[in-house]
Structure 1
Amino acid sequence: MTTNPTIPSQTISAVVSRTGGAIDLPGSLEDATLPAPGAPTGHDILVAVRAVSVNPVDVKVRAGGAGADDARVLGWDAAGTVLAVGELVTLFRPGDEVYYAGSLDRPGSYAAQQLVDERIVAHRPKSLSVAEAAALPLTTITAWEALFDKLRLTESSTGTILVLGAPGGVGSILIQLVKELTGLRVIATASRPESRAWVEELGADVVVDHRAADLDRQILEAAPGGVDFVFTAQSRGRTALFTKVVRPFGQIVAIDDDRDVDLLALKDRSISWHWELMFTRPRHGWDLLAQHDLLERVTQLIDEGRIRTTLTQTLAPLNAESLRQAHRLVESGQVVGKIVVAESR
């Protein structure tokens, strides 16, 4: 066990959400000074956070209101340096460069230091900067679990997958994983010239316009017998589409929270529906090492040049003003790839 260096800090800088609500409310995101997390114990490691990315979950939790302590630290993606490790830690040592997505049930990454369980952390790809790495964990875990835990795809899998919401953070890494690790064709949805160009650059075989009135025709022209699989971040109002374009015994995996999906309508074609939530493992303590392992595998793929970061914009410094700007951009629904807020550009 490597001896931990002394951690002299009694306080740390952070960005907190006190009031929640709309991004322009004074207390929705503000700079603060908080007590330092303290020395790690058990499987925890203490990380000096150097970059974070902003995801839709950040926006959703902020808009929903403040935490119980009236100063919630948001943020569920980070890259940084290990400062100290708990007595049960075996995967990391002080000085290691890491990246991870954290847990909904613990203080987030909008802080100078964060405690996180080693079993959901991985070594940062050596070929990526901290900002490039911070763009990846949450979306990569989501895409990996959707493809390989839910749809159970393998290198020998063939057929076609429809990716709804392809230019977003999850779609951007999912396309790459599909093309690199399976034999599937990808039909990606995108509506703007820049988003179409982005998904084509990432490897999409066919791009269709999800806003078009004839979306079903476009999909069936590309996959005449119907698609075998669907990944959807845009399920609202799509049941009729699914019943037209998914083949019998096809499978759908969804990450959004639409409460009105008519799953019974899928029964006639025996279409399977899967939910994916990357926070399930840390929230329930279920097979935590699987999250470490998949991120380490992605680190390997990146350093081998087989997949790339999805970072498209970096803001700095890591403070409330920069995070407000990032939240506004994510709320616009026009972001291609991922936005990262870093200590410096």
Structure 2
Amino acid sequence: MSAVGSFSGLPIDNPEALQDVEVEVPRPGPRDLLVRVMAVSVNPVDIKQRIALAPSETPVILGYDAAGIIEAIGSEVSTRSVGDEVWYSGDITRPGTNAQFHTVDERLVARKPESLSFADAAALPLTMITAWESLFERFELTKASTGDLLIMGGAGGVGSAMIQLVKALTGVRVIATASREASRRWALGMGADVVIDHRKLREEAGAAAPDGVDWLFTSRSAGNIEDYAEIVKPFGHITAIDEPPNLDLLALKSKSIAWHWELMFTRSLFGYDMCVQQQQLAHIAQLVDEGVLSTTRTRSIDDFSAAGLREAHQAVESGRMVGKIVVHR
């Protein structure tokens, strides 16, 4: 089958950073689905994984988000059938979705929203699961929750998903950061109540929530902990998805601010309660089909090849993406 692989962690402007390759079609294990991949999206984790690759004689296939059609199922599969149109976000311990066919554990997969194309669907799984777990597992928000949530990077993939989920499923007010006009408009369009400039974080967060915010979500922890300690309420909560080295959290202690980590791959990494992500994706698909949630795709590339994926990686690496970029067939 055709796939896009990498043999080492090269800069994305090097044509060899991602290459067209031919590899064997994977065989599904007992609980696996073999999916014909129709569309994928590129996330910051794809970039991190590619850059960190050690030299290899065999191609490493990246890619996590996917939407496609089930071609075959393993002997113990009970939740999906051949021909189902599905979406999922994969597993970092296995070859990725940047390929013609991909195998994935059925417990990570749900039927894709019927109202979305494969391209529009592929934009959502990883970011929606990350947002869902942060909001409803780390922060333990409910329909009855009120208060203020500050989302750092409100126009990014996770931020766009999180704003929608908060406004649809809780009573919480959303304050989002965005510095460019296009980012501000996008965050407001997703449903943010207030948009502030992350370059003036203390000043503008203080004006938006004078008593402090109850919850803060961040993908930008480095250099911001002192500011977070200032703008989060006593006994507030922070959830982070980045991993800056030597992160010092001591400034949070005087307010007893809780720090949470979120990695949406934790369940698949440890085989822990994996069916929960299938349930999350099924619920999200229902909300999409009901018109409550929308795709965050803002750009698509109709070129499922190394060239198309290099273009998508470059866009994500630029740091100027609004929403999500998708590569499709």
Q: Contact (CA 8 Å) 1:17, 1:66: kept in 2 or not?
A: no
Residue by residue over 1:141-194, the C-alpha shift from the partner in whole angstroms, topping out at 9 and shown as x without a partner, is: 111111111111110111000000111100000000000011100000000000
Structure 1: any 5+ residue segments left out of the alignment?
A: 1-11
Once residues 193 and 92 of structure 1 are traced to their aligned partners in structure 2, the CA distance between those partners, rounded to angstroms, is 43
| Structure-1 residue corresponding to 2:12 | 23
CA RMSD of aligned residues (A): 1.0
| Structure-2 residue corresponding to 1:288 | 274
Q: Secondary structure of 1:35's partner?
A: coil
Identify which of 243, 249, 269 aligns with 1:257.
Answer: 243
Q: Secondary structure of 1:248's partner?
A: strand
4+ residue runs over 4 A deviation: 66-69
Q: Secondary structure of 1:307's partner?
A: coil
Once residues 228 and 244 of structure 2 are traced to their aligned partners in structure 1, the CA distance between those partners, rounded to angstroms, is 15
TM-score, length basis structure 1:
0.94
| Structure-2 residue corresponding to 1:96 | 84
| Structure-1 residue corresponding to 2:38 | 50
Q: What is the correspondence of 1:266-305 to structure 2 with a 5 Å cutoff?
A: 266-305=252-291
| Structure-2 residue corresponding to 1:32 | 21
Deviation, 1:331, is 0.4
Once residues 288 and 66 of structure 1 are traced to their aligned partners in structure 2, the CA distance between those partners, rounded to angstroms, is 29
Q: Contact (CA 8 Å) 2:12, 2:314: kept in 1 or not?
A: yes
The answer to whether the aligner puts 1:173 opposite 2:161 as a matched pair is: yes
Counterpart residue type for residue 237 of structure 1: G
Residue by residue over 1:297-332, the C-alpha shift from the partner in whole angstroms, topping out at 9 and shown as x without a partner, is: 000000000010100000011000010000001000
| Structure-2 residue corresponding to 1:83 | 71
Identify which of 61, 70, 77 aligns with 2:49.
Answer: 61
Counterpart residue type for residue 277 of structure 1: L
Once residues 259 and 275 of structure 1 are traced to their aligned partners in structure 2, the CA distance between those partners, rounded to angstroms, is 14
| Structure-2 residue corresponding to 1:7 | none
The answer to whether the aligner puts 1:129 opposite 2:125 as a matched pair is: no
Counterpart residue type for residue 85 of structure 1: I
Q: Contact (CA 8 Å) 1:251, 1:272: kept in 2 or not?
A: yes
Q: Secondary structure of 2:247's partner?
A: coil
- Count of matched residue pairs: 329
Counterpart residue type for residue 122 of structure 1: A
Q: Secondary structure of 2:61's partner?
A: coil
Counterpart residue type for residue 208 of structure 2: A
Q: Contact (CA 8 Å) 1:326, 1:341: kept in 2 or not?
A: yes
Q: Secondary structure of 1:194's partner?
A: helix
TM-score, length basis structure 2:
0.98
Q: Secondary structure of 2:277's partner?
A: helix
